[in-house]
Amino acid sequence: MASNSDNSAVGMPQLDFSTFPNQIFWLVVFCVVLFAIVKFFIIPRMEDIFANRRKIIDGNVAKAEEIRLRVSEIEKQIEEELQKAKSQCDEIMNASGNIIKEQMALALEDSKIATTQLISEAEGRLKELRDGSEAAIEKISEELASEIISKISIGK
């Protein structure tokens, strides 16, 4: 029919309509077979591979999310601990500051008392000294007066 035994095409073999039934017959046959292969072998396999991959990726993403949550929890805990430690530290510092202040106030009080005591002691001693010197002056002046009187009376 269409095939040329001398293997030389006349014009375009594509337009040799006598070959069309044969071409279309084999095309339909192979299309149906290929469709069956695609439908029953290729698609299930590819979808299976894809689903598996999706599952593992999703699993890993979920795990990562979980780890992230745990990390943020741990961070929060660290923050809390830090806060606690800070407040404790503040407390201790306040307490020790108060103690120091108290002690300082006490020491100041002590030293104040001691100084006032010292001052009053010194004042007392000063007064004593002054009193002593007044009496001595009185005595000396008395003696001096009596001596002057006696001297004057002798001279008479």
Partner 1 sequence: MEKQSAFNIHPMDQFIIDPILTGDSLEWYSFTNQALWMLISLVSISFVFIYGSRKHQLVPGRLQSIAELMYFFIRDMIIDIAGQEGLRYFPYIFTVFILILFGNVLGLLPYSFTYTSHIAVTGFLALSVFIAVTIIGFVKNGIGFLSLFWISSAPLALRPILLIIEVISYFVRPVSHSIRLAGNMMAGHAVIKVFAGFAGALGLGAIAPIFAITAVYGLEMLVVVIQAYVFTILTCVYLNDALHPGH
Contact footprint for partner 1 (CB under 8 A): 1-5, 7-9, 11-16, 18-31, 33-35, 37-39, 41-43, 45-46, 48-50, 52-53, 56
Find the shortest distance in angstroms from Cβ 70 to partner 1. Answer: 26
Nearer to partner 1, 30 or 114 (CB): 30
Rounded to whole angstroms, the Cα distance separating 66 from 40 reads 38
DSSP state at residue 13: G
Residue with tokens 């071409």: 23
Q: Under a CB-based contact definition with an 8 Å cutoff, are residues 18 and 2 in contact? A: yes
Q: How many C-beta atoms surround the C-beta of residue 95 within 10 A? A: 10
Find the shortest distance in angstroms from Cβ 12 to partner 1. Answer: 6
Find the shortest distance in angstroms from Cβ 60 to partner 1. Answer: 11
Rounded to whole angstroms, the Cα distance separating 95 from 68 reads 40
Nearer to partner 1, 57 or 108 (CB): 57
Nearer to partner 1, 60 or 111 (CB): 60
Find the shortest distance in angstroms from Cβ 63 to partner 1. Answer: 16
Nearer to partner 1, 35 or 105 (CB): 35
Rounded to whole angstroms, the Cα distance separating 144 from 140 reads 6
